[in-house]
Amino acid sequence: MSMQPILLIHGGAGSITDARVPGKLEGMKKALRSAIDHLVPPNAKENGNALDAVEAAVRAMECDENFNAGYGSCLNLDGKAEVEASIMEGEKLRAGCVTLLRDILHPISVARYVMQKTPHTFLGGPAAQKFALVHGFEQMADGSLVTDDARRALQEFKDRQAKGLDTLFARTELDAQQNKDTVGESGSTVGAVAIDAKGNIAVATSTGGITGKLTGRIGDTPLLGCGTYADNHVGGVSTTGHGETIMRFNLAQKILAKIQYENKSAQQATMEACKEMTERLTGTGGAITIDAKGNIGIYWTSLRMAYAYIKGSKLVYGINHGEEFDEEL
């Protein structure tokens, strides 16, 4: 039986300011339109591929400064962008993960190379950097991924730290709501989940982490079961939000466990797991899910989460709770 292909993406959850909403929504639409041909090829004789689709969608957002991935990534305390990503396919449970890359625009594609060109799953730091260069990825000039917004966000973070108003590992949604003019966003990771006509599920997630992180900090994004997971028998999940919270709660696996063992719908599982995470650990975040039957789940406990998906001829998108828009593809 043929499955209806779906491509679902997120552009990050967190304290997204009003000024950044239009750029995120437009960026997600562009990402979906640039990737959909990989999932639903114009030539009906060709087969769509979920793995190609999620990589293409994330690559598009890695090029867009409206997102915290690739170009536009958050900066660490030293003013550097250290990027990380993971990608996974649900048929054979193959995956590739990378972390602590510098001046590499597309960590998601490096992660796919790790999956397909090595017997390993995870590479990090200088070894991952060397691997990327050996396989033809461009070493961009120092600071090429850094934007003016990211610099301002780091300076603002340091100013708040100096006044005792911000601590890196103790951010709460109350703090975010009290400081809506903050330039930076914590946890505005990008991700994509897709299911193709054959029922194959793939997930890709990419991030620059959080503003003001310690050099060498690794978040949830490259960790399987936390930021990314895909299993054709159950579903696929990509998460976003406060990384320390998500990795401690194992959010992606919590969602899939509710689907597999509690017979919850994709939406119910996503909502329950996100709420349970924030109730237990205070930190906020969100997730996008597609289950093995092609049902979707979208939920977040942060102030906002940017999301969009294509199903059939409709492009659906939103960023606030209780608010959703659609347009013809």
Examine the residue annotation and report whether 99 is marked as an active-site residue of this protein: no
Model confidence at 187: pLDDT above 80 = no
Q: Which pLDDT belongs to residue 169?
A: 45
- Give the model confidence (pLDDT) of 102-127 as tens digits: 999 999 999 999 999 999 999 999 99
With cut-offs at 50, 70 and 90, classify the pLDDT of residue 162: confident
Q: Which residues are annotated as a binding site for substrate?
A: 217-220, 240-243
Q: How far apart are CA 37 and CA 48, in angstroms?
A: 8
**Residue pair 307/316 in contact by the 8 Å Cβ criterion:** no
Pairing of strands 122-124, 95-102: parallel
Q: Which residue among the candidates 189, 207, 239, 270 is catalytic per the annotation?
A: 189
Give the max Cα distance, the chain: 62
Per-chain mean pLDDT for the chain: 92
**Residue pair 206/108 in contact by the 8 Å Cβ criterion:** yes
Q: Which pLDDT belongs to residue 153?
A: 92
Q: Which residues are annotated as a binding site?
A: 217-220, 240-243
Nearest CA among 15, 285, 305 for reference residue 160: 15
pTM of the model: 0.94
Q: How far apart are CA 241 and CA 286, in angstroms?
A: 6
- Give the model confidence (pLDDT) of 20-78 as tens digits: 999 999 999 999 999 999 999 987 667 899 999 999 999 999 999 999 999 999 999 99
Give the angle subtended at the CA of 226 by the CAs of 223 and 228, to the nearest 5°.
75
Q: Which pLDDT belongs to residue 284?
A: 95
Alpha carbon distances (Å) from 80 to 74, 144, 160: 8, 10, 19
Phi then psi dihedrals of residue 227, to 5 deg: -90, -25
- Give the model confidence (pLDDT) of 244-282 as tens digits: 999 999 999 999 999 999 999 999 999 999 999 999 999
Provide the percentage of residues in the chain whose pLDDT is more than 70.
92
Segment among 131-145, 181-195, 203-217, 262-276 with least mean pLDDT: 181-195
Q: Which pLDDT belongs to residue 32?
A: 98
Strands (E), the chain: 6-14, 82-89, 95-102, 122-124, 190-195, 201-207, 228-231, 235-241, 285-291, 296-300, 304-311, 314-318, 325-328
Residue showing tokens 């993971």? 86
